[in-house]
């Protein structure tokens, strides 16, 4: 760093000298001369900096910013995430490979409820970004799980904005520790893939503020990302990338974001409007956008001040990048060490949904009959830009073998053959980034074959899978709901094994929520690892054997049935094509009629039964919660609660703090998540006191009429839950003075 500064200083001094002597422009960009550089740039150069361009520095990177050699402005490299770095693993004429680690997907990371863990994971991820010569990781994705069918939910965290925001902030901090950037995306309200390029999300200001922007607000303030990616969709009539209200009034002026905003890939025609709105960088960038900016500047529709403002932000970004610093990347990150990080992260996040009669943990000595196409075709991540090229994704069959289980060999071979048959189709689908649909044809096994297997084995483990990805939403039939083969297999397994007093364990290797209410009684235990990355199968096996005591909890609600979900009334399920302008009139807009009543906010307030509530997850041990304490001060309150492991094995507990606001003022959900904490690994009998802080601002609701955040006076209940439906302790306090925070209208 010192050396860079010295070089920079020398180049500045020499630059000035040479400029004075010969009047040629040799001044090169450095941290301290951004304004001078802007003063030397032609408008053409300025427009060039605002538009991405082609590049070949890192094959498989999603995009580049353009170089201006005479000013010492290097090209910078942008590549996808969020489950790891996405670059091409092979390069022509080179034997070396460039694989990256496939970490657990965001939904699984959120299930850890452990921001520190997330930060550790993304510190490793960011090292791969740095060592492979990339400047910005295009992640985290953080749109809310408004509806379970959104095809990219696995790239996102939760139905709750606080959990989503805290996870994204931790993600950003971890990656950026490496001196590389992140791009928080897709800002905002990109909650569906159907017609994602054109769909107009029509949302009330209150729902926007409290839900769809709140998670971004937390991530921006607490994570300080270098960049933000605006989304493709419209929001209340304007493309988000062209919305001054969103990109300047809220993001910059109100939240204090000081980085660059880039478009999502494939810019709209309104380049000028985007630039004026505060969208600094058009990606992936075309010459026509440079021409448009230049024309607008010369005719005055983009002022010189606006142009320079965007250029200044770009240069501030560029001077931070490894490419600018001349970092000599190794192309050799420690993939072995990172695989361990990925495995540990999955272990800490997997959720145990059901465990009747202590079916789990298994002893490890059992003869296991392992069922399901997904036992081999394991879904580590998902498809689309979120997929990472890893050199290997462990399968359940492999992980169980490695852990020393005796698997039913005939059955294992049967699935190997079946998988080989299916592979050609699967491969075709994998290579298709766009419009991927996952129809997994489960193998048909006769009831007779299953009864024989039940006689020969001690326990059945069925791995049930779902894949999904960018460009398409999931559908209800055969995806959210089980298909006929899966249902039949479950029923037959359940009858055959239960008839002999043996157990059935189901592993849900799914990218998003599926229906569970109609079949969960058939299984004795259900383990939910989501899409857990390249090492996830090993982590699942460690949970099955009890080597790991599960401590993950649900970051969203599992409804009894799809139609119970409020957004089912307007989410365009069943029309799962991405679509381009004009092609899909029926999904031109989506009215978010459910307003703030998303997920548990709706179910809990209206007493609608669910299959599994938000925040739910079992453990192999039990925990008791002490009487909590709450101390108020002028900024909010601090709560403490002591958790004790009352069971027989070590374990970690997530404690969720919900607040129920007094009646009066705005109508509010019955309870809202306002903080959470996770204990360390507690030995049997061991206790830990968790401290959680909540500010008054965080307790406020958004009053659209006044465009202000407001807290009502009165009695607030602070609830400590093992899930939203399992409150273990409550304490209350009186808020004597109402407070409000006015904000500027967005439009
Ligand atoms: C996706 C983004 C991604 C970008 C670059 C877009 O289609 O929506 O999430 O970062 O492509 O690959």
Which pLDDT tens digit goes with each residue over 464-503?
Answer: 999 989 988 898 988 999 999 999 999 999 999 999 999 9
Give me ligand 1 centre to Cα 77, in Å: 14
Closest residue to atom 4 of ligand 1, CA basis: 265
Give me ligand 1 centre to Cα 437, in Å: 18
pLDDT beyond 80 at 97: yes
Give me ligand 1 centre to Cα 282, in Å: 13
Would the CB of 668 count as within 6 Å of ligand 1? no
Residue 528 is predicted with a pLDDT of: 98
Residues 77, 79: Cα–Cα separation, whole Å: 7
Closest residue to atom 6 of ligand 1, CA basis: 265
Chosen domain end from 548, 576, 604:
548
- Asked if the structure places residue 478 within a domain, the reply is yes
Could you confirm whether 308 is annotated as catalytic? no
Give me ligand 1 centre to Cα 232, in Å: 10
Residues 597, 599: Cα–Cα separation, whole Å: 7
Give per-residue pLDDT as tens, 624-675: 999 999 999 989 999 999 999 999 999 999 999 999 999 877 899 999 999 9
Mutate to test the pocket of ligand 1, among 240, 470, 472, 578 (most ligand atoms within 8 A of CB): 470
Would the CB of 80 count as within 6 Å of ligand 1? yes
Give me ligand 1 centre to Cα 63, in Å: 10
Give per-residue pLDDT as tens, 703-724: 999 999 999 999 999 999 999 9
Distances (CA, A) of 152 to 141, 329, 454, 547, 677: 9, 31, 38, 31, 27
Give me ligand 1 centre to Cα 498, in Å: 47
Nearest atom within ligand 1 for CA of residue 78: 5
Question: In 533-667, where does DSSP find H-type helix?
Answer: 536-545, 600-605
Nearest atom within ligand 1 for CA of residue 86: 12
Give per-residue pLDDT as tens, 650-660: 999 999 999 99
Q: Is 548 helix (H, G, I), strand (E, B) or coil?
A: coil
94 and 226 both lie in a single domain: yes
Mutate to test the pocket of ligand 1, among 142, 187, 195, 385 (most ligand atoms within 8 A of CB): 385
Give the pTM.
0.95
Closest residue to atom 8 of ligand 1, CA basis: 264
Residues 376, 398: Cα–Cα separation, whole Å: 8
Nearest atom within ligand 1 for CA of residue 81: 10
Give me ligand 1 centre to Cα 254, in Å: 26
- Asked if the structure places residue 570 within a domain, the reply is no
What integer is the mean pLDDT of 676-695?
98
H or E element that contains 76:
strand 76-80
Give me ligand 1 centre to Cα 271, in Å: 18
Q: Is 130 helix (H, G, I), strand (E, B) or coil?
A: helix
70 and 21 both lie in a single domain: no
Give per-residue pLDDT as tens, 167-192: 999 999 999 999 999 999 999 999 99
- Asked if the structure places residue 567 within a domain, the reply is no
Least confident of 155-164, 421-430, 443-452, 564-573: 421-430
Q: What is the 3-state secondary structure (H, E, C) of 680-718?
A: CCECCCCEEEEEEEEEHHHHCEEECCCCEEEECCEEEEE
- Asked if the structure places residue 566 within a domain, the reply is no
Residue 653 is predicted with a pLDDT of: 98
pLDDT beyond 60 at 21: no
pLDDT beyond 90 at 4: no
* CATH number for position 50: 3.20.20.300
Closest residue to atom 3 of ligand 1, CA basis: 385
Residues 278, 295: Cα–Cα separation, whole Å: 18
Closest residue to atom 2 of ligand 1, CA basis: 264
- Asked if the structure places residue 44 within a domain, the reply is yes
Name, in order, each residue with C-beta under 8 angstroms of 355's C-beta and a sequence gap of 6 or more: 524, 525, 618, 620
Would the CB of 265 count as within 6 Å of ligand 1? yes
Residue 601 is predicted with a pLDDT of: 98
Pick the catalytic residue from 114, 135, 264, 473: 264
Closest residue to atom 11 of ligand 1, CA basis: 265
- Asked if the structure places residue 607 within a domain, the reply is no
Mutate to test the pocket of ligand 1, among 196, 265, 579 (most ligand atoms within 8 A of CB): 265
Would the CB of 282 count as within 6 Å of ligand 1? no
23 and 36 both lie in a single domain: no
Give per-residue pLDDT as tens, 206-260: 999 999 999 999 999 999 999 999 999 999 999 999 999 999 999 999 999 999 9
Would the CB of 62 count as within 6 Å of ligand 1? yes
Chosen domain end from 548, 573, 608:
548
- Asked if the structure places residue 410 within a domain, the reply is yes
* CATH number for position 439: 3.40.50.1700
Would the CB of 387 count as within 6 Å of ligand 1? no
Would the CB of 185 count as within 6 Å of ligand 1? yes
Rounded to 10°, the helix 287-299/304-318 angle is 140
CB atoms within 10 A of CB 586: 10
Would the CB of 385 count as within 6 Å of ligand 1? yes
Residue 230 is predicted with a pLDDT of: 98
Radius of gyration for the chain, computed over Cα atoms and rounded to the nearest angstrom: 26
Distances (CA, A) of 117 to 178, 235, 394, 421: 16, 33, 22, 39
Residue 426 is predicted with a pLDDT of: 63
Residue 582 is predicted with a pLDDT of: 40
645 and 679 both lie in a single domain: yes
Would the CB of 87 count as within 6 Å of ligand 1? no
1 and 86 both lie in a single domain: no
Give me ligand 1 centre to Cα 264, in Å: 6
362 and 319 both lie in a single domain: no
Mutate to test the pocket of ligand 1, among 138, 195, 472 (most ligand atoms within 8 A of CB): 138
Give per-residue pLDDT as tens, 523-566: 999 999 999 999 999 999 999 999 999 999 999 999 999 999 99
pLDDT beyond 80 at 100: yes
**What is the residue-averaged pLDDT of the chain?**
93
Cβ 278 vs Cβ 252: under 8 Å: yes
Nearest atom within ligand 1 for CA of residue 139: 10
83 and 101 both lie in a single domain: yes
CB atoms within 10 A of CB 701: 20
Chosen domain end from 530, 548, 566:
548
Give per-residue pLDDT as tens, 66-84: 999 999 999 999 999 999 9
Give per-residue pLDDT as tens, 406-440: 999 999 999 999 999 887 666 655 555 444 456 67
- Asked if the structure places residue 503 within a domain, the reply is yes
H or E element that contains 342:
helix 335-347
pLDDT beyond 70 at 577: no
Mutate to test the pocket of ligand 1, among 65, 80, 155 (most ligand atoms within 8 A of CB): 80
427 and 532 both lie in a single domain: yes
Residues 211, 159: Cα–Cα separation, whole Å: 9
Would you say the C-alpha torsion 323, 327, 328, 331 has a positive or negative sign?
negative
Would the CB of 553 count as within 6 Å of ligand 1? no
Residue 429 is predicted with a pLDDT of: 58
Would the CB of 371 count as within 6 Å of ligand 1? no
Give me ligand 1 centre to Cα 267, in Å: 11
Closest residue to atom 7 of ligand 1, CA basis: 265
Please tell me the total count of domains within the chain.
Answer: 4
Give me ligand 1 centre to Cα 265, in Å: 6
Residue 572 is predicted with a pLDDT of: 82
357 and 399 both lie in a single domain: yes
Give me ligand 1 centre to Cα 386, in Å: 8
pLDDT beyond 90 at 161: yes
355 and 315 both lie in a single domain: no
Share of residues in the chain with pLDDT > 70 (%): 93
Place of tokens 């002597």: 21
* CATH number for position 629: 2.60.40.10
pLDDT beyond 70 at 688: yes
- Its domain, for residue 416, covers 350-548
15 and 83 both lie in a single domain: no
Give me ligand 1 centre to Cα 385, in Å: 6
Q: Which long-range contacts (CB under 8 A, 24 or more apart) does 290-296 make?
A: 290/44, 290/47, 290/48, 290/50, 290/51, 293/46, 293/47, 293/50, 293/51, 294/43, 294/44, 294/47, 296/271, 296/272
671 and 704 both lie in a single domain: yes
Question: In 500-572, where does DSSP find H-type helix?
Answer: 536-545
Would the CB of 155 count as within 6 Å of ligand 1? no
Would you say the C-alpha torsion 614, 618, 619, 621 has a positive or negative sign?
positive
Give per-residue pLDDT as tens, 105-127: 999 999 999 999 999 999 999 99
Closest residue to atom 9 of ligand 1, CA basis: 385
Mutate to test the pocket of ligand 1, among 55, 59, 60, 62 (most ligand atoms within 8 A of CB): 62
Would the CB of 138 count as within 6 Å of ligand 1? yes
Residue 267 is predicted with a pLDDT of: 72
Nearest atom within ligand 1 for CA of residue 386: 9
Nearest atom within ligand 1 for CA of residue 141: 9
Q: Which long-range contacts (CB under 8 A, 24 or more apart) does 582-588 make?
A: 583/195, 584/194, 584/195, 584/198, 587/194, 587/195, 587/199, 588/195, 588/198, 588/199, 588/200
């Amino acid at each position: 760093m010192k050396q860079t500064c010295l070089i920079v200083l020398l180049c500045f001094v020499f630059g000035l000298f040479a400029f004075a002597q010969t009047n040629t422009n040799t001044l090169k960009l450095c941290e301290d001369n951004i304004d001078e550089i802007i003063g030397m740039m032609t408008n053409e150069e300025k427009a060039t900096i605002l538009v991405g361009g082609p590049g070949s520095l890192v094959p498989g990177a999603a995009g580049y910013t353009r170089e201006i050699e005479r000013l010492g402005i290097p090209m910078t490299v942008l590549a996808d995430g969020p489950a790891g770095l996405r670059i091409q693993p092979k390069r022509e004429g080179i034997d070396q490979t460039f694989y990256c680690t496939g970490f657990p997907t965001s939904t699984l990371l959120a299930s850890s409820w452990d921001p520190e863990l997330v930060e550790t994971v993304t510190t490793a991820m960011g090292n791969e970004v740095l060592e492979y010569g990339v400047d910005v990781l295009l992640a985290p994705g953080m749109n809310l799980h408004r509806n379970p069918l959104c095809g990219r939910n696995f790239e996102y965290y939760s139905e709750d904005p606080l959990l989503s925001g805290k996870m994204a902030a931790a993600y950003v901090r971890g990656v950026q520790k490496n001196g590389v950037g992140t791009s928080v995306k897709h800002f905002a309200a990109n909650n569906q893939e159907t017609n994602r390029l054109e769909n107009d999300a029509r949302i009330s200001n209150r729902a926007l503020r409290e839900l769809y922007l709140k998670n971004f607000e937390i991530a921006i303030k607490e994570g300080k990302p270098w960049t933000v990616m605006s989304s493709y969709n419209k929001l209340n009539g304007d493309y988000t990338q062209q919305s001054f209200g969103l990109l300047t009034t809220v993001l910059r002026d109100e939240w204090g974001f000081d980085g660059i905003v880039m478009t999502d890939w494939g810019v709209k025609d309104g380049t000028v409007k985007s630039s004026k709105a505060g969208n600094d960088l058009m990606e992936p960038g075309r010459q026509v956008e440079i021409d448009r900016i230049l024309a607008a500047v010369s005719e005055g529709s983009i002022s010189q001040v606006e142009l320079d403002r965007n250029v200044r932000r770009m240069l501030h970004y560029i001077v931070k990048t490894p490419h600018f610093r001349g970092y000599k990347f190794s192309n050799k990150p420690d993939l072995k060490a990172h695989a361990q990080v990925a495995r540990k992260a999955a272990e800490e996040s997997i959720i145990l949904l059901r465990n009747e009669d202590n079916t789990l943990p298994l002893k490890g000595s059992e003869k296991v009959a392992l069922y399901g196409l997904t036992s081999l075709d394991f879904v580590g991540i998902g498809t689309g830009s979120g997929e990472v090229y890893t050199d290997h994704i462990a399968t359940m069959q492999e992980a169980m073998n490695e852990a020393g289980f005796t698997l039913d060999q005939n059955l294992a071979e049967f699935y190997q053959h079946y998988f080989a048959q299916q592979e050609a189709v699967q491969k075709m689908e994998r290579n298709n980034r766009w419009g991927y649909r996952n129809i997994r044809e489960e193998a048909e096994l006769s009831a007779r074959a299953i009864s024989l297997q039940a006689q020969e084995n001690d326990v059945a483990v069925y791995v049930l899978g779902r894949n999904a990805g960018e460009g398409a939403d999931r559908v209800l039939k055969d995806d959210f709901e089980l298909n006929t083969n899966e249902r039949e297999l479950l029923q037959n397994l359940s009858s055959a094994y239960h008839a002999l007093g043996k157990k059935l364990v189901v592993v849900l290797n799914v990218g998003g929520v599926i229906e569970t209410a109609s079949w969960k009684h058939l299984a004795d235990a259900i383990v939910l690892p989501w899409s857990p990355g390249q090492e996830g199968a090993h982590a699942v096996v460690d949970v099955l054997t009890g080597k790991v005591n599960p401590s993950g909890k649900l970051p969203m609600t599992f409804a009894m049935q799809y139609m119970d979900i409020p957004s089912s009334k307007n989410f365009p399920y069943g029309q799962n094509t991405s679509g381009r302008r004009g092609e899909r009139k029926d999904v031109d807009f989506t009215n978010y009629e459910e307003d703030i009543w998303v997920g548990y906010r709706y179910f809990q307030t209206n007493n609608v039964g669910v299959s599994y509530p938000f925040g739910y997850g079992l453990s192999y041990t039990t925990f008791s919660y002490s009487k909590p304490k709450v101390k108020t001060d002028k900024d909010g309150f601090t709560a403490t609660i002591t958790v004790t492991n009352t069971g027989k094995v070590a374990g970690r507990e997530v404690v969720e703090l919900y607040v129920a606001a007094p009646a009066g003022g705005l109508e509010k959900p019955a309870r809202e998540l306002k903080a959470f904490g996770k204990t360390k690994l507690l030995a049997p009998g061991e206790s830990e006191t968790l401290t959680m802080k909540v500010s008054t601002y965080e307790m406020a609701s958004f009053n659209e009429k006044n465009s202000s955040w407001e807290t009502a006076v009165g009695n607030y209940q602070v609830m400590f839950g093992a899930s939203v439906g399992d409150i273990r302790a409550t304490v209350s306090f009186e808020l004597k003075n109402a407070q409000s925070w006015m904000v500027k209208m967005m439009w």
